[in-house]
Amino acid sequence: MKSWKTIGGSTIAALTLSLCLFAPRLWLMRTYLPGTFQWDRAHTFLKQCEAPFRRDIEPAMAWRILPPLVCHAIGLRGYAPLSVPWLGVLAATGYVALVLQRRMSDGRAVFGGTLLFATTSAILVPTTWLGLNDAWVWFGLLAIAFGRTRWSFAAAALLCPWIDERFVIGLPLAWLVRSFDRNEAVFHRSALQLLWVLPYLLVRIAFAGLAPGQDASLSLLRQALAAVPVLLPMAPLGWWMALRAGWVAVGFGVWSLAWRQRWLALGVIGATLMALLSVASDISRSAAVIVPATVWGCVAFARWRPAQAPRALLLVGIANLAIPAVHVTYTKLDVINPLPIEVIRLMRIP
């Protein structure tokens, strides 16, 4: 009972603090407002929930059909589907608390690591922009990295690519973290589990050659690649804003590895970030794919210095609350304000 209290308390407290310091723009969320970060993807998501296989939507959302299918199947209508991303936020944050609690007995360490996760863009994006199911993807990658059962691995690999293709890009890093956490060889027979993602890849390849009017994936990819030179100057800031103090945990996790493993980890992290930059312009949002390495860094530090871990993780979690956060999308910066500012704005608008 005590462990579940720790997990639940850490989850709720971390999310509450995150929302207080990095609040949604409530004044923009009162009614549908086209042309804003807060509503553009939400509009498409709600249209998909009405008819999951409709094609008159933006190409980036065409293959992200699992959440709309679920919402449609259970009869969610109107704005009700917008609750599904929030359920993902709770699930992902709660799972991080569970992973940390399994490895640390001190509640301060569990809370600190959970707070660190809850103040990265993995949570700040789906809580400040509407209709984004990112947290379900990060939940899946965390299940790959830290899950104890084969069914959890299979479920994540089969389902999560249909939420967002970023899952496939983040899968190698999640597998690497899994190998480090279990102290197993990276290239082992168990790596055959990665084939669970093959059905998704085969379907995407099979439809990639269709005419642009039927499937715009190739056209979208060409546009994203063409934008890379423009995005490169913004990339360091976007990557920093994705994790902020979370990079400290990533850095320690890499440092704790053997020499060859360090270079492998750095190579995979770098390749993951560049792959994301090549397919998406929402730099800080996409870089949340790295969060399994952030959680791994917390775990690695607790193994190395168990006595110091509670205080250290608590401090790094609090530090992430204090460091300003900004969404970096293409060449635009969208500052995330504390809740009092957003409440004042909401009250001033008639």
What one-letter code names the amino acid at 269?
I
Give mean pLDDT, residues 123-131: 95
Q: What is the pLDDT of residues 135-170, one digit of tens each?
A: 999 999 999 999 988 899 999 999 999 999 999 999
Give the side-chain half-sphere CA count within 13 A for 228.
Answer: 13
| Tokens representing residue 233 in the block | 């100057």
pLDDT tier at 222 (50, 70, 90 boundaries)? low
Query: Per the structure block, which two tokens stand in for 246?
Result: 């979370």
Q: Retrieve residue 163's tokens.
A: 């939420």
User: Directed axis angle between helix 83-103 and helix 66-73, to 10°?
Assistant: 110
Dist. CA 301–CA 310, nearest whole Å: 10
217 vs 132: which has the higher pLDDT: 132
Q: 326-329 and 332-335 as β-strands: parallel, antiparallel, unpaired? A: antiparallel
pLDDT of residue 7: 94
pLDDT tens sequence across 301-343: 999 999 999 999 999 999 999 999 999 998 899 999 999 999 9
**Any idea which residue has 């929402």 for tokens?**
282
pLDDT, position 221 = 61
pLDDT reported for residue 278: 86
What is the mean predicted confidence (pLDDT) over 298-302?
96
Quick one: pLDDT band at residue 194, thresholds 50, 70, 90?
confident
CA dist 334 to 74, 173, 240, 285, Å? 34, 28, 14, 12
Higher pLDDT, 223 or 140: 140
Model confidence pLDDT, tens digit, residues 92-105: 999 999 999 999 98
Q: What angle do CA 234, 124, 154 make, to 5 degrees?
A: 100
pLDDT at 214 > cutoff 50: no
For residue 123, pLDDT beyond 70 = yes
Q: What pLDDT was estimated at residue 304?
A: 94
Residue 212: predicted pLDDT? 41
* pLDDT attached to residue 310: 95
Torsion angles phi and psi, residue 335, rounded to 5: -70, 140
In whole angstroms, give the CA distance from residue 270 to residue 250. Answer: 12
Q: Which helix (H) or strand (E) holds 335?
A: strand 332-335
Residue 245: DSSP 8-state: T
The pLDDT tens digits of the residues spanning 70-100 come to 999 999 999 999 999 999 999 999 999 999 9
pLDDT of residue 149: 86
Q: Mean per-residue pLDDT for 246-261?
A: 96
Alpha-carbon span 91 to 99, nearest angstrom: 12
State the Cα–Cα distance between residues 248 and 17, nearest whole angstrom: 20
The CA distance from 233 to 237, in Å, is: 8
- pLDDT per position as a tens digit, 7-46: 999 999 999 999 999 999 998 888 888 888 888 889 999 9
Mean pLDDT of 237-244: 97
Q: Is the pLDDT of residue 344 over 80?
A: yes
Residue 219: pLDDT band by 50, 70, 90 thresholds? Answer: low
Q: Please state the domain extents for the chain.
A: 2-205+218-348
Say what angle helices 107-118 and 83-103 make with each other, to 10 degrees.
150
pLDDT digits (tens, 9 = 90+) for 167-189: 999 999 999 999 999 998 888 77
What is the pLDDT confidence band of residue 217, given thresholds at 50, 70 and 90? low
Q: With a cut of 80, say whether residue 2 has pLDDT above it.
A: no
pTM: 0.93
Q: Give the mean model confidence (pLDDT) for residues 118-134.
A: 96
What would the mean pLDDT of 231-246 be, rounded to a whole number?
Answer: 95
